Chains A and B, each alone.
Chain A
Amino acid sequence: MPAKLILSMDGAVLKEYPLNKERTTIGRKPHNDIVIDNLAVSSDHAAIVTILNDSFLEDLDSTNGLAVNGTPTKKHFLQNNDVIEIGKYKLKYLNDQPTQTSAADFEKTMVLRAPVKMPPKEGFSRSPLDVTLTRKSEATAQFNATNSGMAAEASGGQPPAAVVQILNGPNAGKELELVKNLTTLGKPGVQVAVLARRPHGFFITHVEGGSFPTVNGSSIGEQPHQLRDHDLIELAGVKMEFYFKT
């Protein structure tokens, strides 16, 4: 199912337009794909270029311009539920399909050949290219649809905040908040361990040095060791306590 635009004014839905063309135009003149007969709308107001599953909105130097989600813009990469405003009219962009492939194809990788032309419009100028597309397995597509940045949020979020406090030596009492995915402890060239923050907890692993760090008095060896609240870590002669912040 292609993405679509829903035209409305003052909350009343007027019409629905599928984005099934490479270029969909919006304007007051009747030759446009989406005609809005209102004097605030320029004769050729805007265009939407659609390439496979992505759509791009572009203002065609209209008199009154346009806004997306309240922000005036000239060019915009449309995301599901974006609202385009042209005068008093609103066009809601819906593209809820996460992927073209069904669940049955989840494991299957397919090779698909289709010539894709880059849009001819000047704003997006590029020599039209006839590419052979090879569609790689779609398993990531669903992920792409819901994820918009730090991938860590996609799977079960983060463990509670935790801290390592130094217990002896000149830095005794200092706290180190474990806010990054990786935090290294120790002295390079002598003994180094890394603390990894993972969705299901914190893990300490030996990185370098002649001896392994200890947790509650016993050596952790080369394998990652999951830390529990109030565990005592010792490495390079420095004692530290690990605890969760509440």
Chain B
Amino acid sequence: MDIHDALEIVSKTDPGMVRSHNEDSVTYDADIGLVVLADGMGGYNAGEVASGIAVSVLSTEVRHSLQDARPEDLGGAGEELGVALLRDNVRKANLSIFRAAQSQPQYAGMGTTIVSALFYDDRVAVVHVGDSRMYRLRGEVLECVTRDHSLLQEQIDSGMISKEDARLSKNKNLVTRAVGIDADVEPELHVHDVEVGDIYLLCSDGLNDMVEDGDIGTTVQMLQNNLPLAATQLIQLANDNGGRDNVSVILVKVKGHYSAPRGWWQKLYSWFGN
């Protein structure tokens, strides 16, 4: 199945109930199976600028590179192109934001989180920096696929604080990695197998700080046959609970297989199929 037909994608972003402007940026490209979400930070409108740069650099560059190549192609280091593209372009976005921040005083210190996924060959490659997340709903189980780069997560990992107590912490909103605040950044990258029926949720912390994972899972599961409504409902839940931050969600539903053509006859077939 063509990637465009195999995935259903919806995205929604909302300033929330308290903030006057939205510093989140989201985009997706159904033709190449790419989704990108960024949560910017910085004074005045710098947050929007940072997240906007990140999202546009990643989507434009990945799309451009995949015009005459396939994400499962192996590069020089034996690494798949899809993986290399996500990592290299997060670095590229990092440098663009960092330079803009250096050259424009009003953008000094701006930065952004990012989470981006590229679906190819019945798998998904996901890159993230900061505390924007990707969840996966498989059957009835909602699981957070990414691990926040935050002080709180470090404390959970080191056993100082239990997962249950994490909600009580006053050290929320402190990320340990961000895009654009230094000359270099270390993106975290993983590739996961995908099953038909999976639903992936990318979100900014405006969702998961306001809505418990259990409620997120129930909502996505109950409304999986109406993805736009599921997205609206998630944002509504965050806003009903106070909506202290911008809220963004991207939902991706896997409707069919999208394995890469393997043999020469398959390649030939898909060649003529187009």
- Interface positions of A (Cβ within 8 A of B): 49, 51-54, 56, 77, 79, 95, 98-99, 106-111, 116, 118-119, 124-126, 129, 131-145, 147-152, 154-155, 180-182, 184, 188, 192, 194, 196, 198-199, 205-208
Q: Is the CB of A148 within 8 A of B168?
A: yes
Q: Is the CB of B223 within 8 A of A207?
A: yes
- Which of B137-145, B214-222, B264-272 binds A? B214-222
* Contact count band on B: 35 or more
B182 to chain A minimum Cβ distance, whole angstroms, is 7
Chain A residues with CB below 8 A from B131, complex form: 136
Chain A residues with CB below 8 A from B60, complex form: none
Q: Is the CB of B19 within 8 A of A124?
A: no
Q: Is the CB of B154 within 8 A of A118?
A: yes
SS of B interface (majority): loop
Q: Is the CB of B168 within 8 A of A138?
A: no
A198 to chain B minimum Cβ distance, whole angstroms, is 5
Complexed CA–CA distance, A135 and B229 (Å): 33
A154 touches which of B154, B226, B242 (Cβ 8 Å) = B242
Complexed CA–CA distance, A125 and B157 (Å): 11
Contact flag A118-B158 (CB < 8 Å), given A109-B23, A207-B229: yes
Chain A residues with CB below 8 A from B111, complex form: 111, 134
Contact flag A144-B223 (CB < 8 Å), given A124-B159, A152-B240: no
Contact flag A77-B168 (CB < 8 Å), given A133-B174, A196-B233, A198-B236: yes
B211 to chain A minimum Cβ distance, whole angstroms, is 6
Identify the interface centre among B165, B172, B176, B241: most chain A CB within 10 Å of its CB.
Answer: B241
Chain B residues with CB below 8 A from A155, complex form: 240-242
- Interface positions of B (Cβ within 8 A of A): 18-20, 23, 39-44, 46-47, 109-111, 130-131, 151, 154-155, 157-162, 165, 167-178, 181-182, 205, 209-212, 215, 218-219, 222-223, 225-226, 229, 233, 236-237, 240-242, 244-245
Q: Tell me the nearest residue of chain B to A99, going by C-beta.
A: B170
Enumerate 23 A-B pairs (CB-CB under 8 Å) in ascending A order: A52-B174, A54-B170, A107-B19, A109-B42, A109-B43, A110-B43, A110-B109, A111-B41, A111-B109, A111-B111, A111-B178, A124-B158, A129-B154, A132-B181, A136-B205, A137-B19, A139-B245, A143-B242, A148-B168, A150-B212, A180-B218, A194-B229, A196-B236
B101 to chain A minimum Cβ distance, whole angstroms, is 9
Chain A residues with CB below 8 A from B158, complex form: 118, 124-126
Chain A residues with CB below 8 A from B222, complex form: 182, 184, 194
